[in-house]
Structures are given as structure tokens and as C-alpha cells.
Amino acid sequence: MSSLKQDFDELVTKIQQGREFQHASFEPVYYLVFSPKQIIEVKRQTKAWVQMLQKQGFIVHTFSIAEHVNDILKSVPAFRRNLWLKQDAAAPQEWIKANNSLANTLNDKEKGLQVRLKQKLNELEGDEKALLLVTDLEALHPYMRIGSVESQLQGHFSVPTVFLYPGLRTGQTRLRFLGFYPEDGNYRSMHVGD
């Protein structure tokens, strides 16, 4: 297992080199893959990594999945939130229904997570020094995986975008979110790390 420092240094090198033509997609999308056991350590390192990227000449913008998930769920109308709470109180063991309802809210075509990430990417378009750092991916569990969001945003990644991904690499383009989800090969990005 490689160290986070080595993996981050390799990631920075790959970003500086740009994407090679052999990849299925030429968009500058990178995943720093790390063991789910290292989530806390990654959170501790993130501020230092931002500073290191700034020293390399990047203007780093952070997109926290956890903050956006929280904001989306808080902005749900009160009647809908009350309905969720009543349903949960009536059947507290019905996790699947509750999770599906929350996932539908996060996937909303007008106000959902993907829309917010696309808006952020659009804001940064044309800024040659911009880099988008997407953090807190673990907040997607159990609602969705970032691979589906990435594939739906294909064509919108005009600035280097780095996802801090808690999971396992199982091949060149295959990842296992949080180490226990089934292998997913929907990624068209560069992966560095575990």
C-alpha cells in the first residue's frame, strides 16, 4: 500500500502533465483513491494539499459533497420533511424506502447534487489556473456513487477536477466505493492510489 503523500505527489505530477491521449476521455478528471480507513487522515491533510496545489500555481476551489448534501436536504419543503419523519417513525426499519426518497431528492434534475457540481464547473470554465477539489464523497453513501455523476457530467470538466475517493482500485478504471460496494467501471478518469 502506498502512502497518501506519495499518492498525492503522483497526482500533482499527473495533473501538471495533463491527460494522455490513450484514455477514453480527455477531460482532466482525477481520483485520489485511498482506503476508507484513511478518511480522517485525508481530512487532516486536505488543507495542506490545497496549499501545495496553490504553490504549484493553481487557484483551488473546494466542493464539499457533505455540505451540499446537507444543504439540499435542509432545503426540502417542511411538509415533505415532515412526511419523511412520520414515515420513519411509523416504520423505522424501512431503510430502503427512506434512502430511496433521500436519493431521489439528491438526484433532482433542477436542484440536485449533479446540478450544483455542474454549476461550479461552469463557473470555473475558462480559468486556466482553476482546480476543483471535490471532498467528502463518503456523504454519498447510501444514496448514490460519484461515478454516475461523473459520467452524466462528461463534457463539462474543463478544469482539473480532483475527487478524494474513499474506496479501492480494482483495475485501471474500476473502483469499489467505500471498499464494499460492487466494482464499478463507469469512470473515465485518471486514478492514483489504492
Average pLDDT over the chain reads 84
Question: Per the domain annotation, does 3 fall within a domain?
Answer: no
Question: Per the domain annotation, does 49 fall within a domain?
Answer: yes
Is residue 49 predicted with pLDDT exceeding 80?
A: yes
Give long-range contacts, CB 8 A cutoff, 24+ apart: 80-83.
none
pTM: 0.86
Question: Per the domain annotation, does 44 fall within a domain?
Answer: yes
Question: Per the domain annotation, does 143 fall within a domain?
Answer: yes
Q: How many domains does the chain have?
A: 1
The pLDDT value given to residue 146: 79
pLDDT, tens digit, 9 for 90 and up, residues 117-139: 999 999 999 888 999 999 998 98
**Cα atoms in the 13 Å half-sphere on the side-chain side of 70:** 9
The cell for 51 is 496549499
Question: Per the domain annotation, does 181 fall within a domain?
Answer: yes
Question: Per the domain annotation, does 8 fall within a domain?
Answer: no
The pLDDT value given to residue 21: 43
Question: Per the domain annotation, does 4 fall within a domain?
Answer: no
> Distance (Å, rounded) from C-alpha 137 to C-alpha 166?
7
Question: Per the domain annotation, does 118 fall within a domain?
Answer: yes
Full domain range(s) for residue 59: 14-24+32-193
Burial call 129-161: b when 16+ CB within 10 Å, e when fewer: ebbbbbbbbbbbeebbbbbebbeebeebbbbbb
